Every structure is written in C-alpha cells, then in structure tokens.
Structure 1
C-alpha cells in the first residue's frame, strides 16, 4: 500500500526545511567570476568556421544587388549565403504554427522589412575574414520611404493585445461617470522604444552530425526552441540537442527563436562544418524584438472626497509591417485601483521596424509609469497626499473581474515602505524642499504590481544508494539565480542537504521546464521539482513499507515522513531507516520518479493572482541646469513564499534600477528618414551605471498564498520595474512642480518649463 506521505501539497510537513528560505549564495557564482562558466560563444568544435551577418541599412524596400564575388574572393572566406543558395527549409519562416512562433527573416526573399534585417551571411576560416567579407558585399537597394513612429500610418484597432487580451475591456459606464465626477484629469504620456541589451549578445554554434544537430545558443525556452527548429528543418525533435547552461541576461529577448539563429544552422548545413555566429551589438537592434513605443491617454474622475469613479486608459502602440504583437500597456489598470467604471482601449500603427516583442515586464512597465503618474495627478487635483489617495482607492477585489485576490499584502507594503522612507514628512506642495547645496528635493511613490503566472514544466528526481540525490530539468538561469533557488527546492523535496543533491539543467534532452519568462520560472519548475521529489519518496516508502525486513514495514496506514535522508514512521519517529539501506536491500542502485508543475485551472478561475509592492523615491534636481539625480529609493514587495532572500533582493533591486532607467535614461532614437536606430550601442543607448544608482533598499513583506501553487511562490523578476519608474517621475514633479509626461525625463523638459 502506498503510504500517506502528505508530501504533495504542504511542504511545511515535509521534512527538515533547512534549504528553502535560506540566503544561500549562488551555486554558479564562482564559475562566473572566475571565467569558468561556459556560454554559447565559448563552444569551439573541431573544424569551426565563423559567420558574420550582413544587415540592411534601409528599413523598407528590397536588395537590388550584392557583390558576392568580391566577398568570396577575399582570403579566408569559404562561402557567402544569400537567398540564392540558402539551403531549403521544411517550414515557412513567415508561417504561424502557434501564437509563440513569430515570423522572422531567413533569407527567404529580397524584401527588406526593417533596418538591421539580415540580408546575407559570410562564412570564413576566421572572424576577421568573415567581417571583411561582409563589408565587401556592398549592397545596393531599391528603397521605399520608411514608416516610423506612433503617427507613421493610419491607426487601427488590433484584434488582441499582449498574449490574447481583448483590445477593448469595460466595466461600468466610464463616460457617464466622468461627466458626473467632481474632479477630473486627462493627460497623455509617451514612452519610447526600449531594447534588451543583455550583456551576452545573441550567438549560436551549430554542428550537423549526420542527421543530428547539436547547438549551443542562449535561450529562455529550450524545448520550445527545439520544437520550432525541428519543424523548420523537418527532423525529429529528439535529433536536436540544444545546450544553454548559462545566459548572460535575457529579459525576454532570448525567449523566442529568431532569424539569425536559423541562419547559423543553415550556414552549417551549407558548408558541412560547424559554424559560429555571434551577433554584433549594433545588429541586436532589429531581429530580436524590443519594447514598443506607447502613447497613453488617461482620463480619471473622482468625487469630492477623492474616491475614484472612473478610469479610461487608452494606449496607442506599434507593431511591425509583417507581424501582430501589441504591447498590452493599459491592462494593469483593470487590476490595481477600485473604481466602479474602468475601460481600457487600444489602437495600433504598423511601422517598418523589427517586431516589438517581450521585454522585461511587458505591457506593465510602460503602462505603470503612465498610470502611476496619472494617479498622482488625480491626487493633486483632489488635494490629497499621493499615498493617502492610493489607500483611499485600495482594491479589496480585482476591479476588472470582481475576483478575490489569492493574497494581497499591498497595505503592508504601503505601511512598511512609507515608514522606512519617512514618507509622512513629505510636504504636499511641490518645490518645498531643498538640500544643503540648494538642490530641489522631491519625494514620489508608485504602486507595483505584476501577475503571478505559472506555466507547465517537468522534472525528474533520483535517490541513489549512497544517500545522495539528483534533480534533472531543462531549466534556465539567465542571471536570476535559478540554479540555486531551484536546487534549494530540490533539496527540500528530497529531504536532503543542498550539497547532497546534484542539480542538472540547461540542455534540451532533460525534462521540459517550459519557458523562463513572465516571472514564472521558479513557480513552474519549483512545483515540478517538488512533485517529483514527493513522487520518488513515495516510491521509496512503498519499497520500505512493503518489506518485512524494514522497520517501516506496515507503516502505510500511519504514514511516513522524510527527513535528513531517512524515512520515519509518522506515528513513531524512533523507527526509521536511511534511503541507502532501503535501496541496498531492494538491490537497486537508484530509484527515480517524475513530476509536473502546471497552473491550477480552478484556482485561476476563482482568484486573481498578483504580486504587489510600493516604491518610494527621492530625487534631487539642479534648479539651474535641470539635471536630475535619484538620491534614495525604498521598495517594499509582497511576493508569496521567498525561496532565497538573497536572490530575491537582487532581482528586486535590478527591477528598481530598470525603473530608474525607464524614467530617466532609456530611449532608442530612430532616424525617421532611414528607419535606422541612431544609438545602437551601449555608449549612446543610456542605461544607469553605478554613479546613477543611489542608496537603494528592497525588502519583502511576509505573505502566504495557498492558491497560486503548492509552494506558494510568486515571481519577483519583473515587479521591481513597475512602481519604480512612476515613483521617480512623481518625485521629479514634487521637486520641480513640472509634470513631465514624455519619458525619459529630459533636462530640456525641466529647464524650459521650470521657474
């Protein structure tokens, strides 16, 4: 009889509980700081050739000619791949087999759809020869006028936004509520295009071994990529091995298959040798997705007491000329503030750029800076402190759906964050504070929120005769510490110390861990690991309780618990034995079991699931020069069960830094004549550096959620951005009295309009 282990649902009953919740340092940290961690571009198989992309310098038109002969004549060049000699594909790159299969360029024709589109590939014995050969191609074009910007074409209503949200959502009569409101505001906010700019560029090393394919490439979705490659090349997925143990940052940009990766595989097929393609920094601005620019119009109404009566959030976004992905910038408005009438609407414009896709906190990052700015403007119109206004309009249930929250400790975030920051010393009016050097000082805040997602994932657990364990899953660590946090869950799932558990991840031949995105990876894979551990211990317990030689014989009805590598009778913990003894007596070297993690459809139907937080920011502004410096930030976040406080704090601080970037630094600037990104490098595409980041504090508020998943985990990777950008923008207003609605905040906005 299988014992009642009580392992599948309540990990607190488990075992010793000494791994989960501990601030363990990164298991891969030493490898990374010593240079021992192997990234995709570090792979150098025998016979390796180097490939370099030639990319378009126009945004719309077609390639009229390439000087292929000049490139091939260059010493060291082996081949030039163009549309004329590219090996065939079994599937159309412009096909759409599923919603996550976005269209891309693989030299299927001579059309140019955006600047930096791959138009040829030069393959050579050395990187230098390939680079020089690409320059010799000297492409000529038949150019057409580029459509760039939010007003580039006639707007239309998209069929859906994000990953399936309706383009119009309403509850209540917004227009009537606005007409009868005592106080109203209407404001337009704009955010620019953003690019991922991970430290590690996209790269692929591809080698055909007969009808099998071995790939080294950074990816946030091993098995999903494996399936797409299999379809494109008409080979079984099991014939493809993808290795991606380490990613030097992803942020959504490495979540999906892109054209240059396919070109690297095609190049290896064309020349019959392994090929390495590492995309140059400036070439990343195009084929790999980016965040859409937005123009967001918010209309808010409130009664005389400051209670919201209506919110209308309209977003204009862009997509490419050949794909349909629309930034869901308005949708967080349905989740955050209580109002009897809320509407979100969208329109979209097609432009000649690469397709905008997922960037960290998609939709919610640009949406939150607009909403949080508008909420501050409404608080000012009502004569209320911004925090008091938010508390007055606190949503006890999700406004858009009427569902109760599975958990919500936002009040505690407001209270504890404000206390640590000293918020209640803030004067209500702007331009009332200066520091000892005469700089204007402003305090602002923003509410943070991000949906608590979970995808489907799998794991395999092993217990060995020597008393150690192993956990295998094709998970991804792009810098968030997954290899450490998931190993902690694995150790508790197997009731072993973390040093006794071998954690294997990062290749496509392991159980499918799903995609690392949406702040869902720890919840998804962690649940699969937890269930795999429960399953293998159940199998081990069945061996013992069915064996008359075991002290656990007959304990099935009473139940068995696992602790410190041993099984014990629940009704008599003096009776137990070690894992190794059970396996040795059974003549087994090891025992294994699989587990899955997947969303609970019933719980998702019943509850609204979100992480929450509150961010408080202080800025100092030079009254003469308009230069803005963030001088202090405090973020309080409620994100369910915390697996590793050290990793969580790192992720929250990283998100808050990105919020500073959104408010003050980050913008891709496009030449409207050519459609080319003018600052496609880390020298001119501004992101915060150490000197830009102040004293910054992030902490978590205790929160227990029994509904999101068996472990109670919510994500933390993206919530730090939301709230932070708005907090900085609102602090700029409080310092200067100037409300900037076009981001990033520019010195010219403040100098031109300030006193």
Structure 2
C-alpha cells in the first residue's frame, strides 16, 4: 500500500512573480493521465480478500431468512457476515453526538429501512466468488408497504434544516405586504431525488494489525473520518491510518463515514485478513446519501413599478424514517433580492429511503431553481426584462439579516455576462426567435450565489538547508485541482518558486485540513497553509535579524520580505540573505512552522459573506418533437481572490454543466409499490455528455474581499449550479412560452399544454 503521494517531482510550470493568480496546470495531472495515481480500490495488500454487499430488495420490513450455508458452500467463499456474527462495535451506530454525525446501517439487526440497505457481507478469495456467494443468499423478507414520495405521510416542521439552520425565518410582515401589493405571483415547483454518481464508487481496503487499523478509502474529511471510526471501534484515533490521496469525485457523498465503509472494516476484523469492499453502481443508491425531492411554493408581492414588496418561500421535502437531514431549499431566498418582507419555511415527510445528505450545493441548488423561475415569472408579470427586474430589486445588504455584504460584485457580473452573451438583443416575449433550421430559440438568465464558508484546519511548513520547502496538510483533491492551488499558496507563503516546494497531503497522519466541502476547502486549508508559511518565515526572520553576522541584522523594525528563497530587507532590497545561508550559519538542517485557520467570528457577525454570479443560457427546442438542446452557457462570477484561474474556470464549467443537468436530465425514478429506484445505473440515470452542452464560457470578475479571510478567498465549486439551473429553465420558457414547474423538464411537459 502507498503511504502518501508527494508531488516534489511533478513537472514545473512557468511563473511570473507570485505563484498565486497563475493559471498553472494540475501538478497531479500526469499521474492521473498515465494511470500512476492510485485510488482506494487500486490497492491490493498481501492476503487480501474481497467483500461484496448483499442488499435488500425491499424498502421496509425485516429479513427472515438468508441461505448462509449455500453461500459458504460456494468455492472461494471464506465467510458470510450477518447480524448474528458481526463483530461488536464500541458505540451504537444509531447514536449521534454532533450535527455532522448520521446513523449507519451496519448489520445491527434484521430490520430493513430502505431498498439497497446492506443485509449481509460475503467475503471470498476472489471478487467473482464473493459476488456469486451474495447471490446465493436468496433472502426472504417480512414486507411492509413502502412509504414513498412527498405525500407519503403526515408532514411536520423539522427541528432544523441543513446543519442547524432554523426551519422557519421571517423579516417583516409578509402576509400584510402580500395583501397590499399591486400584483402577486404565486407558483409551485417540484424537484426530484438526485444521486451523486461520482465516477469512483465508494470503496475501502481495510487491514488490522492488532488494534491498529490501516485504511485506503476516498474521504473528503480525513480527520473527521478518523474520529468517527475511532469512536465506533473504541480505539485511539492515532491507531487509525487513512490514505486518501485521490478521489474520483465526491460531491458531498464522501464527506462522512458511511455504513459500507464500516462494514469493510468489520469484515477485515471478522476474518483477520485485509479486505476490499467496493460498491457496485446500483448499490450507491441508498446507503451513501442523495439529494431529497422538494415541492416549493413561492409567493411574490410587487408594487406598481415592479419592486418586490414581499417574498414567501415554503419548501416541503423528505427524510428517512430513522434520521434527520432536511434539505434547506427555502433558505435560497434569504440573500439575493431586496424585499422589506421575507418569510421562509420548511416542512418534511418521512419516507422509506436512505437518509438524504449533503449533495453539491445542498439547499441552494434545489431552492435557487425555484426562486429564479419565480423571479422570471415576476419579471414577465411586470412587463420587465428579466435582467432589468433583477437590477430593480438588487439587494445592497443581505435582505434577511440586514448585514452589509463583505463584498458583492454582482452588478459587474450582470454587466459582463450580459455583454458577452448579447443579452440586449433578447425580445421580451417568448416564441419570438428561431434558428435557420426552424428550431425555437430561447434566452434565459439566473442569479448565482453561494455562501463563503470556512472551517478549521492546520498545516505544517518546513524550510530546509538546501533551499527547498515542504508543506504538509491532510487535504483532499476530488479532481478540482486543490493540490495545485494549495501548492501555489504554499510557495507564495514560503517565498519559494513552486518547483522548490514539496507538497504532502492525502493521509490522516498529516495535520487536519478540515473538510473538503461547502466550497470552503481552498479557503480553509489554504489559510492554514498561508499561516504555516508566515510562521516559519517569521521564525527565520527572527533568527537572521538577531544575528550580527547576517546582512539582515537589525532589520526587525523595518521588516523583511520572503522572495525567491531569500529574506530581503523592506527598507533596502540590496541587503538580503538566502534561507540556506541563514540555516547553515545557525547549524540547523531545517526550520518548522505551524499554521491554523478558522473563520473570524467578529467578521461573520458583522458581514454577510457570499460569492455571486450571473448565468445566461440559450436553448433550442424542436417545435415538432419538443426536444431541448442547451446551445450556449455564459456565466460571470465574482468569488474573491482567484488562486488559479485555470482551475477556477474548470470548476465553474462543472457547476454550470451540473445546473443544466438539474434542469433537463437528472431524476431518480422510484417504483412507488416497492420503494426501489428503477434507474440505478448510468445508462438510465441521465447526466450530460459533451453533446448536451456544446458551448460553455465562464468569466472571472475581479473582487477584493478583506473580510472573508486574509487571502480573500471565496469558494467556487458549487456556485455555478445555482444560477444555471434557473437560467436554463427560463430559457425553455422563452423559447416555447410554456412554463414548466416540475424538474427535470420533459418532452411531454412541452407537448402536453399546447402544440409548439
């Protein structure tokens, strides 16, 4: 098994001055395209066995029989793990001690709470034997009727939505404002269940050595996973070593330890040998989270000039019967549009599914497509261009809280995006444009926003006598290029060329880099890296400026700069000294610094912190068949300081494509009789391919934010979804004149109301 991945010998790229802001290519790119990057399931320790899950084919009931003898009698099968022989855990997997802890299905009993729930684990010498053994179990059930969908049972107001957000929030008297408005818009929108479907399925390779545990598994939060596993198995966290250098996508589903990961560890303990467990694609539809469906009603009050007087956003969603995670969809209306009266509220229904969890832009994605569609409807009701309506209702402060924004360049996003797209040529009424082939053409827009979050992290920096440096933090890279951006921050903080830097990440024995989620990873781990660099440079400067033999002696008050592997006097740049000389004279082989990062509570209590953007979409619709094609997407985004524009633009592309997918493609189809998902594969669970989004353009709008953190970084991973989904929906209306309020938009939605 590999211990860690070092990028010290990755190819160098040209840089000019600071590494920050340079469009460097991915430092791990060559490893990935040559197959040298090792993902969790690529590891095969000596003596390893293969484990395969047997999962429930019902959504509610209990397992009454498993043919264990038949499975164990199959050649190559070593053991079958069931509730009867599963090794004990130190804590109840149904216990919860913090908002980021969720209940796990790890064979604690014979109850079935959702389809695809693990009911046994077959362990064998080969993957084929384990798979065949699982099929031989032939489970029998005592079945109860499945509760499925938003109308499956009695609804209730959840205690909180998201992670501790209030389920109901109000500013001003919404009902009074609606009653006195010159006009009103009211509409209900529905979004479906969606599943993460990362290219890399969930996997684990686990090996015990006494009470020490070695794990290869994809994880968006190494230290959090280490702590959760330590609690479940009653061992010290330092006894657990997790390697997760590369993730083939996560989107939130790999942020928390899941039941299948724990089952892999239990299987290894049961048989006393290393075990690999990899989920099949269809098994990812259940125990590892998803985006819950919603039904959202928006009511907007308007005065005679088209200004909003009231905004009410109510969302209904689902959660599992045994845990609490509630999609905070209505919270999307807290931040974007100025209204003297705003009310958001949520209700929920318990259904027989796996627990919905964090999925890329949780709450904002589902809420924004409804909000942006309703805003478009309000603009049409007022006879205003959608962009003009948004500018008329532009929020100078955060509407729900009244806080000033730490920075907000949304006006610039509107202007730059509209200019690049050619928005000024858009006719107000729908069905006014056709292309040369006779297809209906529509243009729509949506406003993008996502909170600028930040968590806690740590990093360790080392300067060596040979003039090179090392930066260590347990960061993750899900493919977004985090390792490259972090290396740029590290090189800048250490005053080194990036080729002189060794960056280490991806293992749990390194300093805790926090969680790669909430579009906060670069800000969180990046600030820890920045602080670690500043710490070691300060220590080196103290050493030099206090040494009479150094040309920097006495420069303590004036200060020094760190650049090109040298400390330079600020007041006299002709006087400098290399790191190597400073360390050599002091007889030191290296010098270490530590850095920590966390959000500033004072700044957070004072300012509303968000990234912003505007997305413009063009669609073409076949008037005979109702087939929709997205032909152009233009997004303009302001997200603070950009560490690497090449990587940031790539993230915007991914978010915008996901937004189009939300509107036109993704939908988990549920069999309402059995509670099973019918399209649990990548053939029928549709996501966009290249032909579905032929032209995507992302503009990076300059924005300086001195309050979010010292580097001025906001997140970029999720914001692209929030504007695009609504923009595509609004473009479909502009092309056809048919307003679809149920997503994804289907051909029959366009053909049913009236002929195109």
Which interval holds the TM-score relative to the shorter structure?
Answer: over 0.9
Partner of 1:296: helix, strand, or coil? strand
CA distance in structure 2 between the partners assigned to 1:183 and 1:374 by the alignment: 14
Q: Which residue of 1 aligns with 2:7?
A: none
Q: Which residue of 1 aligns with 2:9?
A: none
CA distance in structure 1 between the partners assigned to 2:241 and 2:332 by the alignment: 39
Please list every run of 5 or more consecutive structure 1 residues that lacks an aligned counterpart in the other structure. 1-14
Q: Which residue of 2 aligns with 1:184?
A: 184
CA distance in structure 2 between the partners assigned to 1:556 and 1:155 by the alignment: 66
CA distance in structure 2 between the partners assigned to 1:574 and 1:747 by the alignment: 71
Q: Which residue of 2 aligns with 1:37?
A: 37
Q: Which residue of 1 aligns with 2:66?
A: 66
CA distance in structure 1 between the partners assigned to 2:211 and 2:103 by the alignment: 25
Q: Which residue of 2 aligns with 1:713?
A: 713
CA distance in structure 1 between the partners assigned to 2:56 and 2:520 by the alignment: 36
- Residues 243-270 of structure 1: CA distance to partner in whole angstroms, max 9, x if unpaired? 0000000000000010000000000000
1:156 partnered with 2:156:
yes
Q: Which residue of 2 aligns with 1:197?
A: 197
Q: Which residue of 2 aligns with 1:227?
A: 227
- Residues 421-471 of structure 1: CA distance to partner in whole angstroms, max 9, x if unpaired? 000111100001111111000000000000000000000000000000010
User: Which runs of structure 2 are paired with 1:549-628 in the superposition (5 Å)?
Assistant: 549-628=549-628
CA drift of 1:754 comes to 2.9
Q: Which residue of 2 aligns with 1:434?
A: 434
Partner of 1:531: helix, strand, or coil? helix
Q: Which residue of 1 aligns with 2:539?
A: 539
CA distance in structure 1 between the partners assigned to 2:213 and 2:165 by the alignment: 37
CA distance in structure 1 between the partners assigned to 2:438 and 2:44 by the alignment: 58
CA distance in structure 2 between the partners assigned to 1:685 and 1:295 by the alignment: 21
Q: Which residue of 1 aligns with 2:395?
A: 395
Q: Which residue of 1 aligns with 2:473?
A: 473
CA drift of 1:752 comes to 1.2
> Are the equivalent residues in 2 in contact too, given 1:737–1:754 (CA < 8 A)?
no
Please list every run of 5 or more consecutive structure 2 residues that lacks an aligned counterpart in the other structure. 1-14
CA distance in structure 2 between the partners assigned to 1:40 and 1:351 by the alignment: 33
Q: Which residue of 1 aligns with 2:308?
A: 308
CA drift of 1:18 comes to 2.1
> Are the equivalent residues in 2 in contact too, given 1:152–1:351 (CA < 8 A)?
yes
CA distance in structure 1 between the partners assigned to 2:219 and 2:671 by the alignment: 31
CA drift of 1:112 comes to 0.2
> Are the equivalent residues in 1 in contact too, given 2:449–2:723 (CA < 8 A)?
yes
CA distance in structure 2 between the partners assigned to 1:330 and 1:17 by the alignment: 45
1:502 partnered with 2:502:
yes
- Residues 479-510 of structure 1: CA distance to partner in whole angstroms, max 9, x if unpaired? 11000000000000000011100000000000
Partner of 2:705: helix, strand, or coil? coil
CA distance in structure 1 between the partners assigned to 2:65 and 2:613 by the alignment: 55
Partner of 2:720: helix, strand, or coil? coil
> Are the equivalent residues in 2 in contact too, given 1:16–1:495 (CA < 8 A)?
no
CA distance in structure 1 between the partners assigned to 2:667 and 2:17 by the alignment: 45
CA distance in structure 2 between the partners assigned to 1:559 and 1:445 by the alignment: 50
Aligned residues: 741
Partner of 1:51: helix, strand, or coil? strand
Q: Which residue of 2 aligns with 1:128?
A: 128
CA distance in structure 2 between the partners assigned to 1:197 and 1:327 by the alignment: 19
Partner of 1:726: helix, strand, or coil? helix
Structure 2 vs 1, CA of residues 326 and 515 (structure 1 numbering), >3 Å: closer, same or farther?
Answer: same
Partner of 1:166: helix, strand, or coil? coil
> Are the equivalent residues in 2 in contact too, given 1:16–1:564 (CA < 8 A)?
no
User: Which runs of structure 2 are paired with 1:279-678 in the superposition (5 Å)?
Assistant: 279-678=279-678
Q: Which residue of 1 aligns with 2:11?
A: none
Partner of 2:704: helix, strand, or coil? coil
Partner of 1:723: helix, strand, or coil? helix
- Residues 627-681 of structure 1: CA distance to partner in whole angstroms, max 9, x if unpaired? 0001111000000000000000000000000000000000000101111000000
Q: Which residue of 2 aligns with 1:213?
A: 213
CA distance in structure 2 between the partners assigned to 1:560 and 1:614 by the alignment: 42
CA distance in structure 1 between the partners assigned to 2:694 and 2:390 by the alignment: 26
> Are the equivalent residues in 2 in contact too, given 1:461–1:469 (CA < 8 A)?
yes
Normalised TM-score (structure 1): 0.98
CA drift of 1:345 comes to 0.7
CA distance in structure 1 between the partners assigned to 2:99 and 2:168 by the alignment: 20
CA drift of 1:17 comes to 4.4
CA distance in structure 2 between the partners assigned to 1:35 and 1:267 by the alignment: 29
Q: Which residue of 2 aligns with 1:11?
A: none
CA distance in structure 1 between the partners assigned to 2:186 and 2:538 by the alignment: 60
CA distance in structure 2 between the partners assigned to 1:392 and 1:754 by the alignment: 33
> Are the equivalent residues in 2 in contact too, given 1:462–1:470 (CA < 8 A)?
yes
> Are the equivalent residues in 2 in contact too, given 1:145–1:673 (CA < 8 A)?
yes
CA drift of 1:561 comes to 1.4
> Are the equivalent residues in 1 in contact too, given 2:99–2:164 (CA < 8 A)?
no
Q: Which residue of 2 aligns with 1:92?
A: 92
CA drift of 1:183 comes to 1.2
> Are the equivalent residues in 2 in contact too, given 1:289–1:357 (CA < 8 A)?
yes
1:268 partnered with 2:268:
yes
Normalised TM-score (structure 2): 0.98
- Residues 664-719 of structure 1: CA distance to partner in whole angstroms, max 9, x if unpaired? 00000010111100000000000001110121101111100000000000000000
CA drift of 1:16 comes to 8.2
